[in-house]
Amino acid sequence: MADVHLPATLPPLFEGLPRRLDVEAASVGEALAALDARWPGLLDRVCEPAAGGPVLRPHIRVFVDGERAELGTPLAAGSRLDVIAAISGG
Amino acid sequence: MACRVLVLVGTRKGAFLLESDESRAQWELRGPFCEGWNVYRAIHDVDSDPARPAIYVAAHSEWHGPAIWRSHDLGASWEHSSEGLAYDESSELRLSKVSGLAAGHGRLLAGAEAAGLFESRDDGATWSLITTLDDQPGRADWNVPGNQPPGHLGLPGLLLDPDDPDRFWIVVQGFGAFETTDAGRTWTPRNRGLRADWPREHEEVGFCVHKLVMSPADHERLYQQNHVGVHRSDDAGRSWTEITEGLPSEFGFAAAAHPHDRDGFYVIPLDGGHGRVMPEGRAAVWRTRDAGASWERLSRGLPQEDAYVGVLREGMAIDDLAKPGLYFGTSTGQLFASADEGDSWQLIADYLPGIASVEVAVLD
């Protein structure tokens, strides 16, 4: 079970979505897909299509246990996954 | 029964709604909606049930990408979606924003950057690509980053034919207007007679159409504010005649057609250089009542000193009441309204985020 932390910009977009929740997943991509299954459309808010499959949007960053990560980065039991809305705009 | 007049304002930090009655004297503002996203277009579907009016917003978040928002209760609740609103993973195109939005004939159309046209037939829940106009002259240059102006909008202009669901016009920024009569399968450039003060590689394209409108009183009568000049068409865009003479500038973005008089048309001339603000800092809307043969400057109630404000391509709208009301929003957050066809004006909102889009709906 990963300890997932979401940016403040996401919960207003999906009814009932908390800032922090536990998700059963083996990778970052799986964790986001699990959230999308419960809150349809969430994956589109953090990923965009690209050749070779979806990628994180340009101003979204993810970290696993404090290390910069990508969609394929594995999650271990108890991993902390931070999804960050990077400093952007004004 | 008394009507409600609703002005939909799209800004850099969300959408706002202003409501008044038929007098259009007092306005109540609500918002911001759409979580402060950058709104390119906010519209009302005139075909929607008056008891459940449909409002749609094309917006973009730097973090969360583009989406179309929808509300059926005048902004009390919102949903959003971008399902299908993307280019195929194998495409060289990347969808950065949705800049154009139109509703009618039971569907929504969305114009995107890179330039492409999408439609939804389920109230904006899901989207499918209609075309990226691949066979049009000049198409190879459309989406090349080096050819694009800052803040490139792609396909910002959409104009529906009220009579024919298969016929509509689009504007590809910097390349011109195109018409389809078969729901988007094939397209014809509609730029004949327009002027361009720059070299062009193709006879039919390479024109900078800023805003294309149709007279509700005569669907063959189109007008446009172009990068260079104001133009009129009497044959639904097949040919154009320039009607710039009498205006203080050939440049501008916003345009509106009078709802009852085919010869009535409004523009907001701007300095055509880098500033792109009201000439001499004096705010004015210009009106023709004779299809462009002559123009009159309308400024009563508008600031006439140090008003260096700009108005973007979707920044002006007109309602369809017996004495139409006119509305425009500035890129610095002022919203002005006229309840007498532009003869006099009042500031109805100030200190809003920069305004990109103004639309008006009359709800019976």
DSSP string over B108-132: EEEEEETTEEEEESSTTSS-EEEE-
Mean pLDDT on B3-28 = 97
Cα–Cα dist B116/B93, whole Å: 9
Please give the pLDDT value at position A69.
98
What's the one-letter identity of residue B120? S
Closest chain A residue to the Cα of B81, Cα to Cα: A41
Mean pLDDT of the residues in chain B: 96
Closest chain A residue by Cα to residue B60: A45
- Residue B142, classified by CB atoms within 10 Å of its CB into exposed (0-12), middle (13-18) or buried (19+), is buried
Token code pair at residue B12: 């850099």
- Find the mean pLDDT for residues B203-229: 97
Closest partner residue to B87 (CB to CB) among A13, A49, A52 is: A49
Convert the pLDDT of each residue in B306-318 to its tens digit.
999 999 999 999 9
Tell me if the bond preceding B114 is cis, omega within 30° of 0. yes
Determine how β-strand A80-85 pairs with β-strand A67-69: unpaired
Interface touch A41/B80, C-beta < 8 Å: yes
Whole-number Å distance between alpha carbons of B15 and B78: 11
Question: Model confidence at B2, in pLDDT bands (50, 70, 90)?
Answer: confident
Q: Given an 8 Å threshold on Cβ–Cβ distance, is B63 in contact with A86?
A: yes
Question: What's this model's pTM, rounded to 2 decimal places?
Answer: 0.96
Three-state DSSP class for A62? strand
Residues with Cβ within 8 Å of B303's Cβ and at least 6 positions away in sequence, in order, are B282, B283
The answer to whether the CB atoms of B63 and A51 lie below 8 A apart is no
- ipTM at complex level: 0.92
* Beta-bridge mates of residue B55: B44, B71
Residues 6+ apart with CB under 8 A from B49: none
Name which of A48, A62, A87, A88 to mutate to probe chain B: the one with the most chain B Cβ atoms within 10 A of its Cβ: A48
Say if the Cβ atoms of B63 and A49 lie within 8 Å: no
